[in-house]
């Protein structure tokens, strides 16, 4: 591969990292061809782009990003590296890795991940990544929390008004009798 070819790949990869807020770097070196093809098929079915890329190219592309990924240099970018990209959800790749590991023990390992510019290093972070909430889920929860007090006040006023009207009606009926 010529220097120009590497430069093109680095620029393309840097652009991919810039527009993709969720990416996972994995080690799938323990997979045979059939299992690798199965992993690629599952990635395709779930909208994940999976690419095997040289560590030096990944490193140079990450250096062009506004987020500091230098912590990946000594730990994550060693050995075999495959990158999983997903544009919409940070948990899709984590779920895929978890499910793939159930069927294929010790086959794929999470080396590192970036979810909305937050950095996760090590396979032990997989469960943490699975519990993360997406922006949509967090916005929905916040809206629900903000609406809750208003709903309580409105329902209290409505029920209180009904009770007050009932009490006044009962008192007027007593006076009349």
Say how many C-beta atoms besides its own lie within 10 A of residue 82's C-beta: 21
Mean pLDDT of the chain: 85
- Spatial separation of the C-alpha atoms in residues 27 and 144, rounded to whole Å: 40
Output the pLDDT for position 150: 66
- pLDDT score of 56: 92
Reference 109, options 82, 131, 146, 140; nearest CA is 82
The whole-angstrom separation of Cα 55 and Cα 61 is: 10
* pLDDT score at 83: 93
Q: Which of 112, 70, 67 is nearest to 93 (CA)?
A: 112
Contact 67, 20 (CB under 8 A): no
Q: What is the pLDDT of residue 164?
A: 65
- Check the CA dihedral 30-33-34-38 and report its sign: positive
pLDDT of residue 133: 76
Q: What is the CA radius of gyration of the chain?
A: 27
DSSP β-bridge partners for residue 136: none
Q: What are phi and psi of 14, to 5 degrees?
A: -60, -40
**Residue ranges in the chain whose pLDDT is less than 70:** 150-165, 177
Give the model's pLDDT for residue 141: 80
């Amino acid at each position: 591969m010529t220097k120009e070819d590497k430069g093109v790949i680095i620029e393309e990869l840097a652009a991919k990292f810039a527009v993709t807020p969720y990416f996972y770097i994995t080690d799938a070196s323990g997979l045979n061809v059939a299992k690798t093809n199965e992993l690629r098929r599952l990635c395709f079915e779930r909208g994940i782009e999976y690419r095997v890329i040289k560590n030096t190219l990944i490193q140079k592309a990450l250096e062009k990003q506004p987020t500091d990924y230098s912590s990946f240099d000594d730990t994550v970018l060693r050995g075999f590296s495959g990158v999983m990209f997903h544009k919409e959800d940070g948990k899709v790749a984590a779920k895929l890795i978890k499910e793939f590991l159930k069927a294929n023990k010790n086959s794929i390992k999470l080396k590192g991940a970036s979810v909305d510019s937050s950095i996760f290093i090590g396979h032990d972070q997989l469960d943490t990544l699975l519990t993360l909430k997406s922006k949509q889920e967090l916005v929905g929860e916040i809206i629900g929390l903000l609406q809750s007090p208003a709903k309580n006040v409105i329902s209290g006023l409505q029920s209180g008004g009904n009770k007050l009207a009932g009490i006044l009606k009962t008192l007027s009926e007593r006076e009349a009798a």
